[in-house]
Structure 1
Amino acid sequence: MEFVKEFVTFLHQKEIIKFGDFTLASGKSSSYYVDLRLVPSYPHEFRMMVKYLENQITEDIGLENFESIVSVPTGGLVIASALAIETVKPLIYVRSKPKDYGTSKSVEGKIHESMRVVMIDDVATTGGSVVNAIKSLTEVNVPVKDAYVIVDRMEGATEALKELGVKMHSILNILQITEILYEQKLINVEILDKVKKQISK
């Protein structure tokens, strides 16, 4: 739990999480924005985050119980690459759309039927990009049972993945983040309430 508090404080200090009015990729408006693509610019914290993720996966499912790590560009792929190096596991990734030259495939890397994989992404909102990736993997007979994200925005991703038979695990969710920041008097009650309201929508 100590890491979680320190990490949340770090996210706030470095403005990796910002509060205000933002428009998300989906077009939805949000009272906060999480940009985990900034984390690799801080190698010490980045490594701690990847190590924490590795420990979490080891505890939950065991490193011996899957063959490869799979991710989606770009945010998740940076984290997955570092995790693949730490765990000495093969890495595959799923393009958002197949490339229109060469082999024109959407899944990159060495795959075989029924291989066991773990999906990694950075932030989950509705789960759209991961859902699409899981569908692409299913088409090539690579089933996904578990997906890990660093931050769950709690806006439907867990439910969307559950419908596909995938369990979503997160290191942090937005409620935890805002409650930790509020306890440390780094944000006010108004911000906390705005985030709670957004989740309950």
Structure 2
Amino acid sequence: MIENKAKNKAMIALKTAKMLLEIKAVNFRSKEPYTFTSGLKSPVYIDCRKLISYPRIRSAVSDFCVVTVMRDVDFEKYDVVAGGETAGIPYAAFIAERMRLPMIYIRKKSKGFGRNVRIEGDLKAGQHVLFVEDLTTDGTSKLSFAQAIREAGAIVSDILCVFYYDIFRHAPTLLAQYGIKLHYLTTWKDVLSVARNEALFDPLTLYEVKKFLDSPLEWSASHGGISDFRYKPR
């Protein structure tokens, strides 16, 4: 049983990685690194928003998301599916439809007028929420969304995302401290594996990507970016 779960997880990871590469949602650029909002310099960038423009791929990814929930958690655990503004909203809609559940979405901050709320839709106290996002880097941005759900009296203990960076060692511990478990389809290491096997990038680029994935903060610092960052609860 455990072996079958592991095989299923590995298959989904590689299939999802291949689809992301196919639609060029994955970008490797070692000579001119990308700069993230945090100040991190990176030779890798991914745009999961592109998936929504490819119906067959987005359908397969959405199915994989539901399979992952059924495999890792419980199909009947949740009452509501929530998406984070903005990239998580379409994925939440796709998954809520497949799971036959209500959907809500959460703003990054309240509008400042009208009802002045962060949660849009009908969420009741005590309901169990599956929070959905397109990707997770180090997990810090997800905590604000989870906090909004909890302040509304609902329960959130699981985050589901299509893509997880899986390169920041503190991320699982940070989420666990806030009572949250992360579920995901694929990671940078899976993408790199497919890219290598199919020779999609030149050897030097793949070498630099591997160096970054092994030591992201050190790679960032050596290319003019930050060398450390920590989440500070608001």
| TM-score, scaled relative to structure 2 | 0.79
Equivalent of 2:177 in 156, 159, 163:
163
Retained in 2: the 8 A contact 1:50–1:79? yes
Output one character per residue of 1:23-64: Cα deviation in whole Å (capped at 9) or x when no partner. 223332211110010111110000000011111111221221
Show structure 1 runs of 5+ residues with no match.
none
Residue 12 (structure 1) aligns with: 21
Q: What is the CA deviation profile of residues 134-189 of structure 1, one whole-angstrom value per residue up to 9, with x for unaligned ones? A: 11112222221111111111234333211201011110011111112112222344
Matching residue of 1:28? 40
Q: 1:176 aligns with which of 177, 184, 190?
A: 190
Identity of aligned residues (%): 23
Number of the residue aligned with 1:131:
143
Counterpart position of 1:64: 76
Partner letter of residue 136 of structure 1? Answer: A
Counterpart of 1:140? 152
**Which letter maps to 1:158?**
P
Separation of aligned partners in 2, 1:99 and 1:42: 31
Alignment of 1:89-128 (within 5 A): 89-128=101-140
Q: What runs of 5+ residues in structure 2 fail to find an aligned partner?
A: 1-9, 218-234
Aligned-residue CA RMSD (Å)? 1.8
Instruction: Name which structure has the greater RCO, CA cutoff 8 Å, separation 6+.
Output: 2
Number of residue pairs matched? 201
Larger radius of gyration: 2
Tell me how far apart the structure 2 counterparts of residues 149 and 70 of structure 1 sit (CA, whole Å).
12
Tell me if 1:151 matches 2:151.
Answer: no
TM, length-normalised to structure 1: 0.91
Equivalent residue, structure 2, for 1:79: 91
